[in-house]
Amino acid sequence: MESLLFLRGMVIGFALAAPVGPVGILCIRRALADGRYAAFIAGLGAACADTFYGAVAGLGITVISAFLVSHATTLRLVGGLFLMVLGGRTWRTPPRFDPQPVSGPGLARDFLSTFLITLSNPATILASMGVFAAMGVMGGSTAAAPSRLLILGVFAGSSLWWLVLSGLASALRAKFTPAALARLNHISGAALMLFGAGILASLGWSRWG
């Protein structure tokens, strides 16, 4: 029974992580520029945020979920501006293939970036609630120990997705030239800025709607 709960958590985590968005773009770009390890560490930031939101939804922590929903506008504003800035930096980043693996501050920066992008998206908590409800494990209906297994499964499932994505993207690394990576930087930067602009525009629509 407990192993089944862990597997259900993995399915939830994988489902939360799989939709391609800003973090997926960053992970793919990091894999092509710096390798599989750097991309996976970046993905772990999103996995931790998914796990946090999964814990809120799965354990029925209504105080936190109510706070997040009530401050959704602020979170979206912060997330949109962050994506705009990050997209601009990505656009201006010169193409490079690091001869040495990225470590230290670079990995920490990538981890925090994806963590904040995912955490500042209030849609994540709504998606978590929807997926948990579909799996029949909403509202802290399980005991404390099995609940911990469920949340651990969410982290494992989300991490598995980023492991797969970083591995697939890294496998294409040898086929990329500096010129192709420069185009990828421009495409990624533009996509991130569009994601950010879309979030900021949605604030205006909700205000006038």
The residue type at 196: G
Q: What is the pLDDT of residue 121?
A: 74
Domain extent, residue 59, equals 2-208
Neighbours of 145 (CB within 10 A): 10
Residues 9, 152: contact at Cβ < 8 Å?
Answer: yes
Which helix (H) or strand (E) element contains residue 93?
Answer: none
Rounded-to-integer distance, Cα 134 and Cα 57, Å: 12
- The distance of Cα 165 from the centroid of its chain, to the nearest Å, equals 12
Residue of higher predicted confidence among 151 and 146: 151
pLDDT at 19 over 70: yes
Q: What is the pLDDT of residue 48?
A: 94
pLDDT at 141 over 50: no
3-state DSSP percent of the chain in helix, strand and coil, to 5 = 80, 0, 20
**pLDDT digit string, tens, across residues 5-17:** 788 888 888 988 8
SS3 for 9? helix
Mean pLDDT of the chain: 79
**pLDDT digit string, tens, across residues 44-95:** 999 998 898 878 776 766 666 677 667 777 877 888 888 888 888 888 877 6
Q: What is the pLDDT of residue 164?
A: 94
Residue 170: exposure state from Cβ atoms within 10 A (0-12, 13-18, ≥19): buried
pLDDT at 143 over 60: no
**pLDDT digit string, tens, across residues 156-203:** 999 999 999 999 988 888 777 777 778 888 888 898 889 888 878 877
CA distances in angstroms from 53 to 50, 85, 126, listed in the order given:
5, 25, 9
Torsion angle defined by CA atoms of residues 34, 39, 40 and 46, in that order, rounded to the nearest 10 degrees: 150
Domain count, the chain: 1
pLDDT at 139 over 60: no
